[in-house]
Chains A and B, each alone.
Chain A
């Protein structure tokens, strides 16, 4: 069974930093592209970053470029998100999601339960 378990969320002051982790099991982590997606309270889904299976191709959404860094450790089957210069608008539930790629496209087929990040003074 595919499992994704996020951790590392919490309360942080504006301007602070936080590192999220996503521990995975039940699949060959090193073969899959991975994502971070967030959801602000009462709002919709917002994709924020994606990393290729080998870690060499990375994309970010504009709101987090230059502040967030996605990374992975294939030996530990884990995904990370380093978040710096946090702002109130970064307050959200952060999901780790796996990409499943068919011959035509990649879609987000497995999701964790999320870890809550609250940015407030």
Chain B
């Protein structure tokens, strides 16, 4: 059972937009910056978003992040079949003194 709650799966058609949510508490998302990770099948995770809404160099602007209160959201526009992956949110939790990941959302691009 993850400290951060994500929907297990989502699906959308190519070209569409999706939003993946991550729900936490005041001790994690409510007081710390969130990062998002993409894990393509059979590969290591890759950071997409850090500090709630910043993109590392090389990450297209189709990917965006936001945070409000104790929830964070990853947005992906112009969906491509190559975006089929598992997506995880991550954040520091002050109460646990631990980094925590969400349970992950499996995105299917139909």
Q: Are A and B subunits of one complex?
A: yes
What is the distance, in angstroms, from A102's C-beta to the closest C-beta of chain B? 6
Q: Which candidate, A9-17, A40-48, A75-83, is the interface stretch facing chain B?
A: A40-48
List CB contacts (< 8 Å) of B66-92 with chain A: 86, 88, 90, 92
Q: Is the CB of B104 within 8 A of A102?
A: no
What separation, in Å, do the CA atoms of A112 and B47 have in the docked complex? 13
What is the distance, in angstroms, from B99's C-beta to the closest C-beta of chain A? 4
* CB-based A-B contact count at 8 angstroms: 68
Q: Is the CB of B33 within 8 A of A111?
A: no
Neighbour of B88 across the interface among A44, A50, A97, CB < 8 A:
A44
What is the distance, in angstroms, from A50's C-beta to the closest C-beta of chain B? 6
What separation, in Å, do the CA atoms of A43 and B87 have in the docked complex? 12
Known A45-B104, A62-B98; 15 more pairs at CB < 8 Å: A44-B86, A44-B102, A44-B103, A45-B37, A47-B98, A59-B99, A60-B98, A102-B50, A104-B33, A104-B51, A106-B92, A107-B51, A108-B99, A109-B56, A111-B45
Residues of B within 8 A of A (CB): 2, 32-33, 35, 37, 39, 44-47, 50-51, 54, 56, 86, 88, 90, 92, 96-104
Residues of A within 8 A of B (CB): 35, 37, 44-47, 50, 59-62, 95, 97, 100, 102, 104-109, 111-114
